[in-house]
Amino acid sequence: MPNQIHVHLKVSEFIILVFGGMNIERGRLYNVVLHIMSVKSVDISVSLTSSDGSQNLAQHSIKGQKFSAWSKVEFKLRARGTNSNSRLQITTSKSGTIWLDQVSVMPSDTFKGHGFRNDLTSMLSDLKPGFLRFPGGSYSQGGTLMNAFRWKSTVGPWEQRPGHFNDIWNYWTDDGLGFFEFLQLAEDIGALPVWVIHNGISLNDQINPSSLPSFVEDVLDGIEFARGDAHSTWGSVRAEMGHPNPFKLRYISIGNQECLNGNYRANYLKFYTAIKSAYPDMKVVTNCDGSIGKLDHLADLYDLHVYTSASDMFSKAQLFDKISRNGPKAFVSEYAVTGNDAGKGTLVAALAEAAFLLGLERNSDIVEMASCAPLFVNDNDRRFNPDAIVFNSNAQFGTPSYWMQQFFKYSNSATYHPSTIQVSNYPYLLASALTWEDTNSRRKHLKLKILNYGSAAVLLNMSISGLETTISSNGGIQAVLTSSKLSDENSFQEPKKVAPVLTKFAKAGGKMSVMIAPYSLTSFDLLLDKQNLRSSI
Protein backbone atom coordinates (compact mmCIF):
# COMPACT_ATOMS: atom_id res chain seq x y z
CA MET A 1 0.00 0.00 0.00
CA PRO A 2 1.57 3.34 -1.04
CA ASN A 3 2.44 6.40 1.06
CA GLN A 4 2.53 4.55 4.36
CA ILE A 5 3.14 6.40 7.61
CA HIS A 6 5.13 4.16 9.93
CA VAL A 7 4.47 5.36 13.47
CA HIS A 8 6.38 3.82 16.38
CA LEU A 9 4.63 5.26 19.42
CA LYS A 10 4.96 5.22 23.15
CA VAL A 11 2.89 7.92 24.78
CA SER A 12 2.77 10.19 21.78
CA GLU A 13 0.63 11.81 19.16
CA PHE A 14 0.41 11.99 15.39
CA ILE A 15 -0.91 15.25 13.93
CA ILE A 16 -2.10 16.11 10.43
CA LEU A 17 -2.20 19.78 9.42
CA VAL A 18 -3.89 20.66 6.14
CA PHE A 19 -3.34 23.88 4.16
CA GLY A 20 -3.40 26.20 7.13
CA GLY A 21 -5.93 24.13 9.06
CA MET A 22 -9.32 22.52 8.61
CA ASN A 23 -12.58 24.36 9.14
CA ILE A 24 -14.58 22.48 11.77
CA GLU A 25 -18.07 23.73 12.59
CA ARG A 26 -20.19 22.94 15.62
CA GLY A 27 -22.93 20.39 14.97
CA ARG A 28 -21.51 19.36 11.60
CA LEU A 29 -20.78 15.70 10.86
CA TYR A 30 -17.39 14.57 9.50
CA ASN A 31 -16.47 11.26 7.88
CA VAL A 32 -13.13 9.84 9.00
CA VAL A 33 -11.26 7.04 7.24
CA LEU A 34 -8.09 5.34 8.53
CA HIS A 35 -6.15 2.40 7.17
CA ILE A 36 -4.40 0.66 10.05
CA MET A 37 -2.01 -2.22 10.57
CA SER A 38 -0.54 -3.05 13.98
CA VAL A 39 1.61 -5.67 15.70
CA LYS A 40 -0.47 -5.65 18.87
CA SER A 41 -3.92 -4.45 19.83
CA VAL A 42 -4.23 -0.69 19.70
CA ASP A 43 -5.45 2.01 22.03
CA ILE A 44 -5.93 5.02 19.78
CA SER A 45 -7.80 8.28 20.23
CA VAL A 46 -8.70 10.19 17.05
CA SER A 47 -9.60 13.83 17.66
CA LEU A 48 -10.37 17.06 15.88
CA THR A 49 -8.67 19.83 17.84
CA SER A 50 -7.67 23.45 17.55
CA SER A 51 -4.23 24.09 16.02
CA ASP A 52 -2.57 24.18 19.45
CA GLY A 53 -4.50 21.19 20.76
CA SER A 54 -6.16 23.16 23.55
CA GLN A 55 -9.71 22.81 22.18
CA ASN A 56 -11.07 19.31 21.62
CA LEU A 57 -13.85 19.53 19.04
CA ALA A 58 -14.66 15.83 18.55
CA GLN A 59 -13.17 12.49 19.58
CA HIS A 60 -13.40 8.77 18.78
CA SER A 61 -11.57 5.88 20.42
CA ILE A 62 -10.32 2.63 18.89
CA LYS A 63 -9.48 0.24 21.71
CA GLY A 64 -8.63 -3.41 22.13
CA GLN A 65 -8.55 -4.22 18.43
CA LYS A 66 -5.68 -5.89 16.61
CA PHE A 67 -5.11 -5.18 12.93
CA SER A 68 -2.67 -7.85 11.78
CA ALA A 69 -3.41 -6.98 8.13
CA TRP A 70 -4.25 -3.65 6.55
CA SER A 71 -7.77 -2.73 7.66
CA LYS A 72 -10.02 0.14 6.68
CA VAL A 73 -11.63 1.83 9.67
CA GLU A 74 -14.45 4.31 9.15
CA PHE A 75 -16.45 6.38 11.61
CA LYS A 76 -18.15 9.72 11.98
CA LEU A 77 -17.33 12.64 14.26
CA ARG A 78 -19.85 15.30 15.21
CA ALA A 79 -18.18 18.55 16.19
CA ARG A 80 -19.10 20.12 19.53
CA GLY A 81 -17.22 23.30 18.76
CA THR A 82 -16.07 25.57 15.93
CA ASN A 83 -12.54 26.36 14.81
CA SER A 84 -11.38 27.40 11.33
CA ASN A 85 -7.77 26.37 11.95
CA SER A 86 -8.20 22.82 13.20
CA ARG A 87 -6.08 19.71 13.00
CA LEU A 88 -6.54 15.94 13.11
CA GLN A 89 -4.79 14.47 16.13
CA ILE A 90 -4.15 10.77 16.72
CA THR A 91 -2.81 9.80 20.14
CA THR A 92 -2.03 6.59 22.00
CA SER A 93 -1.12 5.74 25.58
CA LYS A 94 0.11 2.27 24.69
CA SER A 95 3.60 1.40 23.43
CA GLY A 96 3.81 -0.46 20.15
CA THR A 97 4.20 -0.23 16.41
CA ILE A 98 1.32 1.07 14.32
CA TRP A 99 1.19 1.69 10.58
CA LEU A 100 -1.25 4.31 9.30
CA ASP A 101 -2.08 5.02 5.66
CA GLN A 102 -4.62 6.99 3.64
CA VAL A 103 -6.01 9.04 6.51
CA SER A 104 -8.95 11.26 5.54
CA VAL A 105 -11.41 13.68 7.14
CA MET A 106 -14.28 14.94 4.98
CA PRO A 107 -17.50 16.83 5.75
CA SER A 108 -20.50 14.59 5.26
CA ASP A 109 -22.46 17.26 3.36
CA THR A 110 -20.48 17.95 0.18
CA PHE A 111 -21.80 19.19 -3.18
CA LYS A 112 -24.26 16.56 -4.40
CA GLY A 113 -22.47 14.10 -2.14
CA HIS A 114 -19.40 13.85 -4.36
CA GLY A 115 -16.71 15.35 -2.14
CA PHE A 116 -16.51 18.96 -3.34
CA ARG A 117 -16.96 21.93 -1.02
CA ASN A 118 -20.48 23.31 -1.29
CA ASP A 119 -19.45 26.95 -1.20
CA LEU A 120 -16.77 26.68 -3.88
CA THR A 121 -18.70 24.43 -6.23
CA SER A 122 -21.81 26.59 -5.90
CA MET A 123 -19.79 29.62 -6.99
CA LEU A 124 -18.54 27.67 -9.99
CA SER A 125 -21.99 26.36 -10.83
CA ASP A 126 -23.47 29.85 -10.59
CA LEU A 127 -21.38 30.88 -13.61
CA LYS A 128 -23.42 28.33 -15.61
CA PRO A 129 -20.33 26.98 -17.38
CA GLY A 130 -20.82 25.16 -20.65
CA PHE A 131 -17.71 23.02 -20.17
CA LEU A 132 -15.01 22.07 -17.67
CA ARG A 133 -11.45 21.66 -18.97
CA PHE A 134 -9.30 19.24 -16.99
CA PRO A 135 -6.96 18.16 -15.53
CA GLY A 136 -5.33 21.42 -16.62
CA GLY A 137 -2.68 22.47 -19.08
CA SER A 138 0.84 22.05 -17.73
CA TYR A 139 -0.53 19.84 -14.93
CA SER A 140 -1.56 17.29 -17.54
CA GLN A 141 1.81 17.19 -19.29
CA GLY A 142 4.13 17.35 -16.27
CA GLY A 143 7.63 18.76 -16.09
CA THR A 144 8.85 15.22 -16.75
CA LEU A 145 7.14 12.14 -18.08
CA MET A 146 7.43 10.50 -14.68
CA ASN A 147 5.28 13.21 -13.10
CA ALA A 148 2.65 13.65 -15.80
CA PHE A 149 -1.04 13.04 -15.04
CA ARG A 150 -1.83 9.36 -15.69
CA TRP A 151 -5.57 8.84 -15.66
CA LYS A 152 -5.44 5.10 -14.91
CA SER A 153 -3.59 5.80 -11.67
CA THR A 154 -6.37 8.17 -10.56
CA VAL A 155 -9.41 5.87 -10.80
CA GLY A 156 -10.66 3.05 -8.63
CA PRO A 157 -10.66 3.07 -4.81
CA TRP A 158 -8.88 6.09 -3.37
CA GLU A 159 -6.63 4.02 -1.13
CA GLN A 160 -5.26 2.18 -4.16
CA ARG A 161 -4.23 5.31 -6.04
CA PRO A 162 -0.45 5.84 -5.82
CA GLY A 163 -0.58 9.63 -6.22
CA HIS A 164 2.09 11.65 -8.00
CA PHE A 165 4.28 14.71 -7.62
CA ASN A 166 3.07 17.76 -9.54
CA ASP A 167 6.51 19.00 -10.52
CA ILE A 168 5.10 21.99 -12.40
CA TRP A 169 3.66 23.65 -9.27
CA ASN A 170 5.70 21.66 -6.72
CA TYR A 171 3.20 19.80 -4.59
CA TRP A 172 2.26 16.19 -3.98
CA THR A 173 -1.24 15.04 -4.91
CA ASP A 174 -2.80 11.79 -3.76
CA ASP A 175 -5.04 11.96 -6.86
CA GLY A 176 -8.18 11.82 -4.77
CA LEU A 177 -9.27 14.37 -7.37
CA GLY A 178 -8.83 12.08 -10.36
CA PHE A 179 -10.23 11.42 -13.80
CA PHE A 180 -13.55 10.10 -12.48
CA GLU A 181 -14.01 13.03 -10.08
CA PHE A 182 -13.38 15.58 -12.84
CA LEU A 183 -15.98 13.89 -15.04
CA GLN A 184 -18.40 13.78 -12.10
CA LEU A 185 -17.85 17.46 -11.30
CA ALA A 186 -18.55 18.47 -14.89
CA GLU A 187 -21.80 16.51 -14.81
CA ASP A 188 -22.81 17.95 -11.43
CA ILE A 189 -22.48 21.56 -12.62
CA GLY A 190 -24.19 20.84 -15.95
CA ALA A 191 -21.03 21.27 -18.05
CA LEU A 192 -19.46 19.17 -20.79
CA PRO A 193 -16.06 17.66 -19.92
CA VAL A 194 -13.02 18.66 -21.99
CA TRP A 195 -10.14 16.24 -21.41
CA VAL A 196 -6.59 17.52 -21.99
CA ILE A 197 -4.58 14.39 -22.76
CA HIS A 198 -0.87 13.71 -22.52
CA ASN A 199 0.56 13.36 -26.03
CA GLY A 200 3.93 11.92 -25.09
CA ILE A 201 5.61 15.30 -24.61
CA SER A 202 6.38 16.80 -21.21
CA LEU A 203 8.09 20.12 -20.55
CA ASN A 204 11.56 18.67 -20.17
CA ASP A 205 11.44 15.25 -21.84
CA GLN A 206 9.38 13.11 -24.17
CA ILE A 207 8.89 9.50 -25.09
CA ASN A 208 10.56 7.76 -27.98
CA PRO A 209 8.06 7.82 -30.90
CA SER A 210 8.22 4.02 -30.99
CA SER A 211 6.43 4.02 -27.63
CA LEU A 212 3.60 6.29 -28.79
CA PRO A 213 1.13 3.44 -29.57
CA SER A 214 0.86 2.68 -25.85
CA PHE A 215 -0.02 6.34 -25.17
CA VAL A 216 -2.65 6.30 -27.92
CA GLU A 217 -4.14 3.10 -26.54
CA ASP A 218 -4.18 4.65 -23.08
CA VAL A 219 -6.28 7.58 -24.35
CA LEU A 220 -8.70 5.24 -26.13
CA ASP A 221 -9.06 3.33 -22.87
CA GLY A 222 -9.78 6.63 -21.12
CA ILE A 223 -12.53 7.47 -23.57
CA GLU A 224 -14.00 4.00 -23.01
CA PHE A 225 -13.87 4.63 -19.25
CA ALA A 226 -15.87 7.84 -19.75
CA ARG A 227 -18.22 6.78 -22.54
CA GLY A 228 -18.15 3.00 -22.75
CA ASP A 229 -20.94 0.61 -21.92
CA ALA A 230 -21.04 -0.48 -18.29
CA HIS A 231 -20.03 -3.98 -19.45
CA SER A 232 -17.00 -2.84 -21.44
CA THR A 233 -13.51 -3.30 -20.03
CA TRP A 234 -13.04 0.24 -18.77
CA GLY A 235 -16.71 1.22 -18.65
CA SER A 236 -17.16 -1.49 -16.04
CA VAL A 237 -14.52 0.22 -13.86
CA ARG A 238 -16.57 3.41 -14.03
CA ALA A 239 -19.72 1.48 -13.21
CA GLU A 240 -18.03 -0.08 -10.17
CA MET A 241 -17.25 3.43 -8.99
CA GLY A 242 -20.97 4.20 -8.94
CA HIS A 243 -21.68 5.66 -12.37
CA PRO A 244 -23.09 2.99 -14.72
CA ASN A 245 -24.28 5.53 -17.29
CA PRO A 246 -21.67 7.05 -19.63
CA PHE A 247 -20.41 10.58 -19.16
CA LYS A 248 -20.88 13.08 -22.00
CA LEU A 249 -17.26 13.32 -23.10
CA ARG A 250 -17.24 14.99 -26.51
CA TYR A 251 -14.00 17.02 -26.54
CA ILE A 252 -10.37 15.86 -26.45
CA SER A 253 -7.55 18.42 -26.38
CA ILE A 254 -4.26 16.87 -27.50
CA GLY A 255 -1.47 18.24 -25.34
CA ASN A 256 -0.71 21.70 -24.00
CA GLN A 257 1.41 24.35 -25.75
CA GLU A 258 3.70 21.86 -27.51
CA CYS A 259 3.03 22.96 -31.10
CA LEU A 260 6.62 24.16 -31.59
CA ASN A 261 8.01 20.82 -30.46
CA GLY A 262 9.34 18.95 -33.47
CA ASN A 263 7.41 15.77 -32.63
CA TYR A 264 4.05 17.42 -31.91
CA ARG A 265 2.41 17.19 -35.34
CA ALA A 266 3.40 13.58 -35.91
CA ASN A 267 2.21 12.64 -32.43
CA TYR A 268 -0.98 14.68 -32.84
CA LEU A 269 -1.93 12.92 -36.06
CA LYS A 270 -1.51 9.50 -34.43
CA PHE A 271 -3.97 10.48 -31.70
CA TYR A 272 -6.32 12.28 -34.09
CA THR A 273 -6.58 9.32 -36.48
CA ALA A 274 -7.13 6.76 -33.72
CA ILE A 275 -9.72 8.85 -31.87
CA LYS A 276 -11.68 9.74 -34.99
CA SER A 277 -11.65 6.13 -36.15
CA ALA A 278 -13.10 4.85 -32.87
CA TYR A 279 -15.26 7.88 -32.00
CA PRO A 280 -16.14 9.90 -35.14
CA ASP A 281 -18.27 12.36 -33.17
CA MET A 282 -15.42 13.37 -30.84
CA LYS A 283 -14.18 16.92 -31.34
CA VAL A 284 -10.39 17.00 -31.34
CA VAL A 285 -8.44 20.13 -30.35
CA THR A 286 -4.93 20.96 -31.55
CA ASN A 287 -2.72 23.36 -29.60
CA CYS A 288 -1.32 24.90 -32.79
CA ASP A 289 -2.62 28.44 -33.27
CA GLY A 290 -5.07 28.61 -36.14
CA SER A 291 -5.62 32.36 -35.77
CA ILE A 292 -2.30 33.25 -37.44
CA GLY A 293 -2.70 31.15 -40.56
CA LYS A 294 -4.12 27.97 -42.02
CA LEU A 295 -3.30 24.82 -40.06
CA ASP A 296 -1.29 22.12 -41.79
CA HIS A 297 -3.25 19.32 -40.10
CA LEU A 298 -6.85 18.36 -39.47
CA ALA A 299 -8.58 19.58 -36.30
CA ASP A 300 -12.05 20.47 -35.10
CA LEU A 301 -10.78 23.30 -32.90
CA TYR A 302 -7.49 24.97 -32.09
CA ASP A 303 -6.39 25.95 -28.59
CA LEU A 304 -5.33 29.53 -27.90
CA HIS A 305 -3.89 30.92 -24.65
CA VAL A 306 -3.93 34.67 -24.00
CA TYR A 307 -1.96 36.06 -21.04
CA THR A 308 -1.14 39.73 -21.37
CA SER A 309 -1.41 43.23 -19.88
CA ALA A 310 -4.72 45.02 -19.41
CA SER A 311 -4.15 47.48 -22.26
CA ASP A 312 -3.21 44.72 -24.68
CA MET A 313 -6.14 42.56 -23.57
CA PHE A 314 -8.50 45.47 -24.31
CA SER A 315 -7.03 45.76 -27.80
CA LYS A 316 -7.60 42.04 -28.36
CA ALA A 317 -11.34 42.70 -28.51
CA GLN A 318 -10.68 42.89 -32.28
CA LEU A 319 -8.47 39.77 -32.39
CA PHE A 320 -10.90 37.59 -34.33
CA ASP A 321 -12.58 40.25 -36.47
CA LYS A 322 -10.51 39.56 -39.59
CA ILE A 323 -9.69 35.88 -39.15
CA SER A 324 -10.81 33.44 -41.84
CA ARG A 325 -14.25 31.96 -41.34
CA ASN A 326 -13.32 28.71 -43.11
CA GLY A 327 -10.93 26.94 -40.72
CA PRO A 328 -11.43 25.18 -37.39
CA LYS A 329 -13.06 27.15 -34.62
CA ALA A 330 -11.09 28.63 -31.74
CA PHE A 331 -11.03 27.32 -28.19
CA VAL A 332 -9.60 30.06 -25.98
CA SER A 333 -8.92 27.69 -23.12
CA GLU A 334 -6.81 30.07 -21.01
CA TYR A 335 -7.08 33.83 -20.83
CA ALA A 336 -6.18 36.31 -18.09
CA VAL A 337 -4.72 39.75 -17.57
CA THR A 338 -1.34 39.25 -15.90
CA GLY A 339 1.49 41.50 -14.77
CA ASN A 340 1.58 44.56 -12.55
CA ASP A 341 -1.90 45.83 -13.38
CA ALA A 342 -3.41 42.42 -12.61
CA GLY A 343 -2.37 42.34 -8.94
CA LYS A 344 -4.29 39.56 -7.22
CA GLY A 345 -7.34 40.43 -9.30
CA THR A 346 -8.12 44.08 -10.04
CA LEU A 347 -10.98 46.04 -11.54
CA VAL A 348 -8.92 47.09 -14.57
CA ALA A 349 -8.01 43.46 -15.27
CA ALA A 350 -11.67 42.44 -15.15
CA LEU A 351 -12.72 45.27 -17.49
CA ALA A 352 -9.98 44.45 -20.00
CA GLU A 353 -11.02 40.79 -19.95
CA ALA A 354 -14.63 41.89 -20.49
CA ALA A 355 -13.53 43.70 -23.65
CA PHE A 356 -11.87 40.52 -24.88
CA LEU A 357 -15.00 38.46 -24.16
CA LEU A 358 -17.20 41.00 -25.95
CA GLY A 359 -14.96 40.47 -28.97
CA LEU A 360 -15.39 36.71 -28.64
CA GLU A 361 -19.18 37.11 -28.49
CA ARG A 362 -19.07 39.20 -31.63
CA ASN A 363 -17.08 36.47 -33.34
CA SER A 364 -18.94 33.49 -31.91
CA ASP A 365 -19.27 32.03 -35.40
CA ILE A 366 -15.55 31.11 -35.23
CA VAL A 367 -14.97 31.02 -31.45
CA GLU A 368 -16.66 28.01 -29.88
CA MET A 369 -15.49 28.16 -26.26
CA ALA A 370 -13.49 30.26 -23.81
CA SER A 371 -12.39 29.82 -20.19
CA CYS A 372 -10.39 31.87 -17.74
CA ALA A 373 -7.37 30.41 -15.99
CA PRO A 374 -6.65 29.66 -13.26
CA LEU A 375 -10.03 29.07 -11.65
CA PHE A 376 -9.31 28.46 -7.93
CA VAL A 377 -6.47 29.36 -5.58
CA ASN A 378 -5.93 28.48 -1.92
CA ASP A 379 -4.87 31.71 -0.25
CA ASN A 380 -2.44 29.76 1.95
CA ASP A 381 -0.66 28.29 -1.07
CA ARG A 382 -0.68 30.79 -3.93
CA ARG A 383 1.32 29.75 -6.99
CA PHE A 384 -0.16 32.08 -9.61
CA ASN A 385 -1.91 35.46 -9.76
CA PRO A 386 -4.61 36.36 -10.54
CA ASP A 387 -7.31 33.71 -10.07
CA ALA A 388 -11.09 33.77 -10.32
CA ILE A 389 -12.03 32.33 -6.90
CA VAL A 390 -9.92 32.64 -3.74
CA PHE A 391 -10.53 30.44 -0.71
CA ASN A 392 -9.16 29.33 2.64
CA SER A 393 -10.46 26.72 5.07
CA ASN A 394 -13.72 28.47 5.87
CA ALA A 395 -14.34 31.33 3.44
CA GLN A 396 -14.16 32.27 -0.21
CA PHE A 397 -14.61 35.25 -2.49
CA GLY A 398 -14.69 36.04 -6.18
CA THR A 399 -12.16 38.39 -7.71
CA PRO A 400 -13.46 41.18 -9.98
CA SER A 401 -12.84 38.83 -12.94
CA TYR A 402 -15.20 36.28 -11.39
CA TRP A 403 -17.94 38.90 -11.09
CA MET A 404 -17.24 40.10 -14.62
CA GLN A 405 -17.92 36.58 -15.89
CA GLN A 406 -21.38 36.74 -14.30
CA PHE A 407 -22.27 39.18 -17.10
CA PHE A 408 -21.53 36.46 -19.67
CA LYS A 409 -23.09 33.41 -18.05
CA TYR A 410 -26.18 33.49 -20.28
CA SER A 411 -24.16 33.76 -23.49
CA ASN A 412 -24.31 29.98 -24.03
CA SER A 413 -27.09 29.21 -26.52
CA ALA A 414 -28.06 32.87 -26.72
CA THR A 415 -28.77 34.67 -30.01
CA TYR A 416 -26.28 37.42 -30.82
CA HIS A 417 -27.55 40.63 -32.44
CA PRO A 418 -25.29 43.14 -34.21
CA SER A 419 -25.02 46.50 -32.44
CA THR A 420 -23.17 49.75 -33.07
CA ILE A 421 -21.96 52.61 -30.88
CA GLN A 422 -21.28 56.07 -32.29
CA VAL A 423 -19.35 58.38 -29.95
CA SER A 424 -16.93 60.89 -31.44
CA ASN A 425 -13.26 60.71 -30.40
CA TYR A 426 -13.89 58.20 -27.63
CA PRO A 427 -12.66 54.70 -28.60
CA TYR A 428 -13.25 53.13 -25.20
CA LEU A 429 -16.83 51.91 -25.57
CA LEU A 430 -17.79 48.38 -26.57
CA ALA A 431 -21.25 46.83 -26.61
CA SER A 432 -23.04 43.53 -27.08
CA ALA A 433 -26.69 42.63 -27.52
CA LEU A 434 -28.18 39.15 -27.29
CA THR A 435 -31.40 37.41 -26.42
CA TRP A 436 -31.52 34.53 -23.96
CA GLU A 437 -34.20 32.36 -22.44
CA ASP A 438 -34.69 31.72 -18.74
CA THR A 439 -34.94 27.94 -18.53
CA ASN A 440 -37.11 28.14 -15.41
CA SER A 441 -39.70 30.71 -16.50
CA ARG A 442 -39.32 30.06 -20.25
CA ARG A 443 -39.37 33.83 -20.72
CA LYS A 444 -36.97 35.55 -23.09
CA HIS A 445 -34.80 38.53 -22.29
CA LEU A 446 -32.77 41.07 -24.19
CA LYS A 447 -29.36 41.53 -22.59
CA LEU A 448 -27.38 44.65 -23.42
CA LYS A 449 -23.78 44.86 -22.19
CA ILE A 450 -21.82 48.11 -22.41
CA LEU A 451 -18.16 48.44 -21.45
CA ASN A 452 -16.64 51.85 -20.75
CA TYR A 453 -12.87 51.42 -20.58
CA GLY A 454 -12.24 55.16 -20.44
CA SER A 455 -12.22 57.87 -17.80
CA ALA A 456 -15.30 59.80 -18.98
CA ALA A 457 -18.93 59.22 -18.10
CA VAL A 458 -20.95 58.80 -21.32
CA LEU A 459 -24.61 59.52 -21.95
CA LEU A 460 -25.89 56.99 -24.47
CA ASN A 461 -29.14 57.36 -26.39
CA MET A 462 -30.01 53.79 -27.30
CA SER A 463 -32.37 52.78 -30.07
CA ILE A 464 -33.47 49.16 -30.30
CA SER A 465 -35.10 47.96 -33.48
CA GLY A 466 -35.41 44.86 -35.59
CA LEU A 467 -36.91 42.58 -32.94
CA GLU A 468 -40.17 40.88 -33.85
CA THR A 469 -41.42 41.65 -30.36
CA THR A 470 -41.51 44.50 -27.88
CA ILE A 471 -39.70 45.17 -24.64
CA SER A 472 -41.91 44.67 -21.62
CA SER A 473 -43.02 47.84 -19.87
CA ASN A 474 -42.30 46.10 -16.57
CA GLY A 475 -38.72 47.29 -16.92
CA GLY A 476 -35.66 45.21 -16.17
CA ILE A 477 -32.51 44.87 -14.13
CA GLN A 478 -29.43 47.05 -14.46
CA ALA A 479 -26.09 45.69 -13.21
CA VAL A 480 -22.94 47.79 -12.91
CA LEU A 481 -19.43 46.57 -12.15
CA THR A 482 -17.09 49.41 -11.16
CA SER A 483 -15.16 50.82 -8.22
CA SER A 484 -13.38 53.96 -7.06
CA LYS A 485 -9.93 52.85 -8.27
CA LEU A 486 -8.75 50.70 -11.15
CA SER A 487 -6.44 48.84 -8.77
CA ASP A 488 -9.23 47.89 -6.35
CA GLU A 489 -9.30 44.21 -5.35
CA ASN A 490 -11.56 41.99 -3.31
CA SER A 491 -10.44 40.27 -0.12
CA PHE A 492 -11.74 38.16 2.74
CA GLN A 493 -12.35 41.42 4.62
CA GLU A 494 -14.13 43.06 1.65
CA PRO A 495 -15.30 40.17 -0.54
CA LYS A 496 -17.58 42.34 -2.67
CA LYS A 497 -15.66 45.59 -2.83
CA VAL A 498 -15.71 45.12 -6.61
CA ALA A 499 -18.93 43.29 -7.47
CA PRO A 500 -22.02 44.03 -9.58
CA VAL A 501 -24.57 46.42 -8.10
CA LEU A 502 -28.09 45.52 -9.24
CA THR A 503 -30.95 48.01 -9.46
CA LYS A 504 -34.41 48.04 -10.96
CA PHE A 505 -34.43 49.72 -14.38
CA ALA A 506 -37.83 51.26 -14.95
CA LYS A 507 -37.31 53.12 -18.24
CA ALA A 508 -37.22 50.10 -20.51
CA GLY A 509 -38.33 50.51 -24.10
CA GLY A 510 -37.27 50.77 -27.71
CA LYS A 511 -35.54 54.05 -26.98
CA MET A 512 -33.57 54.62 -23.78
CA SER A 513 -31.13 57.21 -22.46
CA VAL A 514 -28.60 55.83 -19.99
CA MET A 515 -25.50 57.19 -18.29
CA ILE A 516 -22.53 54.84 -18.43
CA ALA A 517 -20.02 55.36 -15.64
CA PRO A 518 -16.29 55.61 -16.36
CA TYR A 519 -14.30 52.38 -16.11
CA SER A 520 -17.37 50.20 -15.79
CA LEU A 521 -19.20 47.22 -17.23
CA THR A 522 -22.96 47.73 -17.37
CA SER A 523 -25.70 45.36 -18.41
CA PHE A 524 -29.45 45.70 -18.90
CA ASP A 525 -31.63 42.58 -18.74
CA LEU A 526 -34.96 43.49 -20.31
CA LEU A 527 -37.94 41.16 -20.39
CA LEU A 528 -39.48 40.61 -23.83
CA ASP A 529 -43.22 40.39 -24.38
CA LYS A 530 -43.20 37.77 -27.13
CA GLN A 531 -41.26 34.65 -27.82
CA ASN A 532 -40.37 34.70 -31.53
CA LEU A 533 -37.02 36.33 -32.21
CA ARG A 534 -35.37 36.16 -35.61
CA SER A 535 -34.21 39.63 -36.60
CA SER A 536 -31.17 41.66 -35.63
CA ILE A 537 -30.92 44.76 -33.44
Q: Write down the H helix ranges in 310-430.
A: 310-315, 347-362, 400-406
Residue 305 neighbours by CB under 8 Å, 6+ apart: 137, 257, 332, 333, 334, 335, 373
Cβ burial, residue 441 (10 Å; 0-12/13-18/19+)? exposed
Contacts 24+ apart (CB under 8 A), 136-139: 136/196, 136/256, 137/196, 137/256, 137/257, 137/305, 137/333, 137/334, 137/373, 138/168, 138/203, 138/256, 138/257, 139/166, 139/168, 139/169
Mean pLDDT, range 406-428, rounded to an integer = 90
CA-to-CA distance for 344 and 490, rounded, in angstroms? 9
Contact 431/358 with Cβ under 8 angstroms? yes
Percent of the chain with pLDDT over 70: 95
Mean pLDDT of 465-487: 87
Cα 51-32-8 angle, rounded to 5 deg: 70
For the segment 100-125, the average pLDDT, to the nearest whole number, is: 96
Average pLDDT over residues 405-430: 91
* Mean pLDDT value across residues 86-114: 92
Write down the pLDDT at residue 11: 40
- Percent residues over pLDDT 90 in the chain: 79
Name which of 192-196, 249-253, 468-472, 483-487 the model is least confident about: 468-472
pLDDT of residue 465: 78
- Give the C-alpha separation, 88 to 514, whole Å: 56
Given a cut of 50, whether residue 121 has pLDDT beyond it is: yes
pLDDT in tens, 283-299: 999 999 999 999 999 99
- Amino acid letter, residue 434: L
Rounded average pLDDT over 368-390: 93
Q: Is the pLDDT of residue 224 over 50?
A: yes
Residue 514 scores a pLDDT above 70: yes
Beta bridge partners of 437: 444
Q: How high is the pLDDT of residue 19?
A: 58
pLDDT of residue 13: 52
Burial 283-313 (b: 16+ CB within 10 A, else e): bbbbbbebeeeebeeebbbbbbebebbbeeb
Question: How much is the average pLDDT of 168-181?
Answer: 95
pLDDT of 144 > 60? The answer is: yes
User: Does the pLDDT at position 537 exceed 50?
Assistant: no
pTM, two decimal places: 0.93
Does position 241 have pLDDT exceeding 70, yes or no? yes
286, HSE (Cβ side, Cα atoms, 13 Å): 27
Q: What mean pLDDT value characterizes the chain?
A: 92
The pLDDT, as a whole number, for residue 17 is: 55
Over residues 497-513, the pLDDT tens digits come to: 999 999 998 877 778 88
| Predicted confidence (pLDDT) at residue 267 exceeds the cutoff of 90 | yes
Residue 10 has a pLDDT of 41
Helix (H) or strand (E) segment spanning residue 520: strand 520-528
Radius of gyration of the chain (CA): 26
CB 516 within 8 A of CB 460: yes
420 pLDDT band (50/70/90 cuts)? confident
**What is the DSSP annotation of 102-149?**
EEEEEES--GGGSS--HHHHHHHHTT--SEEEES-SHHHH-SSGGGS-
